[in-house]
A and B are shown apart, each in its own frame.
Chain A
Amino acid sequence: EVQLVESGGGLVKPGGSLRLSCVASGFTFANVWMTWIRQVPGKGLEWVCRIKRRIESETTDYAAPVKGRFTISRDDSKNTLYLQMNSLKIEDTAVYYCATSVSLDAFDIWGQGTMVAVSS
């Protein structure tokens, strides 16, 4: 079964850090670009960042609101995607989804999401 499972969410104070993980199964993880997308509960979807494949030097792209604070990385040997979130702000509160496309097209595989709450 094709699957993405996120973990690592939780409650953190402003200025704190958190690392999210996303474990993939059912497809060849090393062959796909991986993406984090977030959603404030009850609101719309926001693309956060993307990492390309090793053959593409694992090139990364970030949305402006998180650039310099968040770092996306991957471990193909563990079929795992990571999101290191530093200097967290209240406005980073959201459900964080990992997503991918097995055909390098639109996002056809999504995880169930992990909730990150930033509050004092």
Chain B
Amino acid sequence: DIVMTQSPDSLAVSLGERATINCRSSQSVLYNSNNKNYLAWYQQKPGQPPKLLIYGASTRESGVPDRFSGSGSGTDFTLTISSLQAEDVAVYYCQQYYSTPFTFGPGTKVDIK
């Protein structure tokens, strides 16, 4: 199984400041034949199901604000919130869908400082 790790476990950022979350996979999730990373980022608020933010490591889902961006390739990935808003308080998960079982990272809780 591919093991997903995230850092930090939690972070508190001032409104309008940048938040950066890191994700690492125990093996590459880059599919060489199409040069696509099978890595997604989700946002989950209390009492709600996860919401897809980023897929293919860097493609923003339709309707997701452009302050959210994803980067990285292979085994190391980053989710960046360029200017934190109050509504971004949530837990963020990375997930690989390269091979089953499609594993998730443990989550990073983002709060307002």
On whether the two chains bind one another, the answer is yes
Residues of A within 8 A of B (CB): 35, 44-47, 50, 61, 63-64, 97, 99, 105-108, 110-113
Are A63 and B50 closer than 8 Å at their CB atoms?
Answer: no
* Given A107-B40, A111-B49, A113-B49, A44 contacting B101 (CB threshold 8 A): no
How many chain B residues touch the partner (CB < 8 A)? 23
Q: Which A-B residue pairs are the 8 nearest by beta carbons?
A: A106-B40, A106-B55, A110-B49, A61-B100, A45-B104, A47-B102, A63-B101, A108-B52
Partner of A47, one of B48, B51, B104, B105: B104
Chain A residues contacting B97 (CB-CB under 8 Å) are: 105-107
Q: Is the interface of B mostly helix, strand, loop or mixed?
A: loop
B77 at the interface (CB under 8 A from A): no
- Closest CB in chain B relative to A60 CB, distance in Å: 10
Are A105 and B56 closer than 8 Å at their CB atoms?
Answer: yes
Closest to A50 in B: B100
CA of A46 to CA of B55 in the docked complex: distance in angstroms? 18
CA of A39 to CA of B106 in the docked complex: distance in angstroms? 11
Closest to B91 in A: A44
Are A45 and B95 closer than 8 Å at their CB atoms?
Answer: yes
